[in-house]
Amino acid sequence: MPIKVGLVSLGCAKNLIDSEIMVGHLAQAGMVMTGDAREADVVIVNTCSFIDASKHEALGAIYEMSDGKAKARRKGQKLIVAGCMAQRYQGALPVVEGAKGRVELPKVDAFIGLDEVTRIVPVIEKVLAGDAGKLEFLAKTTTFIPDYDTPRFRLTPRHAAYVKIAEGCNHPCSFCIIPRIRGRHRSRTVESVVREARQLVAEGVREINLISQDTTYFGMDRWTDQRPNPRSPVDSSRGESLASLLRALDAIEGDHWIRLLYTHPAHWSDELIETLARSRHVARYVDIPLQHISDRMLAAMQRETDGAHIRGLVRRMRAGIPGLTIRTTFIVGFPGETEADFAELLGFLREARFDRVGVFRYSREEGTKAAKLGDQVPDAVKQDRWERAMALLRELSADRLRALVGRRLRVLVESPGVARGEGDAMEIDGVVAVPKSLPVGQFAEVTVTGAKDYDLVAR
């Protein structure tokens, strides 16, 4: 009988690709995936550990799949914990304080880190044989990055895919633990990414989403001088860059979108803006987490930008890329944030009128520089500021969506009756309600007839 494996994949799209790589290797080895954890010989929980909420979600999944809840499952079932939590805590699950005191930690048969996703088959074989130590597969550093020929089984809809163009991060953001988990930035080559994208388009993929911790840093880790001027008009002259990658991807024939996610404001150049404006296939959509606008907060966050840079960049992007949709995120309640800092942020939201905005309450993460800062903001104040920001954003979103009524949009049909426009990223933005007769996985032209909350209605 083939080995049956269950998988719980948590966290972001970057984590999903790690799960897809594991599934690809399991399928190559003849192992069978099952959606019923009770039938599995092995259950893998691929964890996220970016903020406190994701850590608790991961622990909840581990508890659910552990011995305490496995009475109705296959005898001798094994549990493997993978991903960011395993890498961050090096196999020592964080202790959770429950209502009745400390919660007993579940039994885990093996931990694997981010570099071990391609070794999942021998890990499972050793665990099932009973001769594996639970920490022997956990490397302390991370160097792995997928290539175009890395075995992978996509878990996204047939018409959409994520492509990881780089791994790790070189930014010093004081609130973020990711560089300690995923290591230094390391880029794939343009050739590697293009070969993968060309194959995906040949398979019928209509939307390719480029992801990494910072897509704008692509190629720069191989430059001799890694301190480019953000206003440089020719950043590709030093070697491969995101701009040169987009030009190569844009040359791939076919009817498809290329979507740019996870960009950092410090490395946007005039060349990159011009490249997007001239592209046929690159969606006029940019995901650019700004985090704040107050100079005090940006300095404390170590964001490598200031308010003037951000305001100027947003103006240049909108002037240079007609019809651009900008998605961004902000953090409220960061240590030392005053009411004046928050008021400046609200004013900026009114002024900039971004198309898509996410607001997060600051999460104090152990091991980060910000966790050691004084003047931590009380939870009640964080919650109040978050609610006020979200109320403003709902108002601004309603105005924006009403302005779209009557317009023609090109949409990608996601499922029967549901589509996404060029300004809507998969799984994180709004949707467009369309007639159920439109074919799934294909583009269609629709007219917007109404709006509700964060979504549109079209015919």
Return d(Cα 366, Cα 21) in angstroms, integer. Answer: 29
What local confidence, expressed as pLDDT, does residue 310 receive?
Answer: 98
Q: Do 300 and 388 have their domain in common? A: yes
Instruction: Look up the domain containing 125 and give its range.
Output: 4-129
- Residue 180 within a domain: yes
> What CATH number has the domain bearing residue 415?
2.40.50.140
Task: Check if the beta carbon of residue 87 is closer than 8 Å to that of residue 181.
Answer: yes
Q: What is the pTM of this model?
A: 0.92
What local confidence, expressed as pLDDT, does residue 230 receive?
Answer: 46
- Residue 350 within a domain: yes
- Residue 135 within a domain: no
Task: Check if the beta carbon of residue 427 is closer than 8 Å to that of residue 384.
Answer: no
Q: Do 389 and 426 have their domain in common? A: no
- Residue 150 within a domain: no
What local confidence, expressed as pLDDT, does residue 371 receive?
Answer: 95
388, 403, 418 - which closes a domain: 403
What local confidence, expressed as pLDDT, does residue 152 receive?
Answer: 96
What local confidence, expressed as pLDDT, does residue 265 receive?
Answer: 97
Instruction: Name residue, tokens 């467009």.
Output: 432
Q: Do 397 and 427 have their domain in common? A: no
Parts of the chain with a pLDDT under 70: 67-73, 95-105, 225-237
- Please give the tally of structural domains in the chain: 3
- Residue 147 within a domain: no
Q: Do 424 and 447 have their domain in common? A: yes
Say whether 386 sits in a helix, a strand or coil: helix
- Residue 263 within a domain: yes
- Residue 426 within a domain: yes
Q: Do 397 and 412 have their domain in common? A: no
Q: Do 436 and 335 have their domain in common? A: no
Q: Do 99 and 220 have their domain in common? A: no
Structure confidence by residue, pLDDT tens digits, 207-261: 999 999 999 999 999 997 655 554 444 456 678 999 999 999 999 999 999 999 9
> What CATH number has the domain bearing residue 64?
3.40.50.12160
SS3 content of the chain, % helix, strand, coil (to 5): 35, 20, 40
- Residue 261 within a domain: yes
357, 376, 403 - which closes a domain: 403
Q: Do 277 and 414 have their domain in common? A: no
Structure confidence by residue, pLDDT tens digits, 350-371: 999 999 999 999 999 999 999 9
> What CATH number has the domain bearing residue 221?
3.80.30.20
Q: Do 216 and 122 have their domain in common? A: no
Q: Do 246 and 352 have their domain in common? A: yes
What local confidence, expressed as pLDDT, does residue 224 receive?
Answer: 75
Q: Do 114 and 203 have their domain in common? A: no
359, 388, 403 - which closes a domain: 403
Task: Check if the beta carbon of residue 196 is closer than 8 Å to that of residue 163.
Answer: yes
Which two structure tokens, joined as six digits, stand for 389?
A: 């920001």
Q: Do 207 and 303 have their domain in common? A: yes
Closest CA to 60 of 127, 8, 22: 8
What local confidence, expressed as pLDDT, does residue 137 receive?
Answer: 82
What local confidence, expressed as pLDDT, does residue 2 receive?
Answer: 94
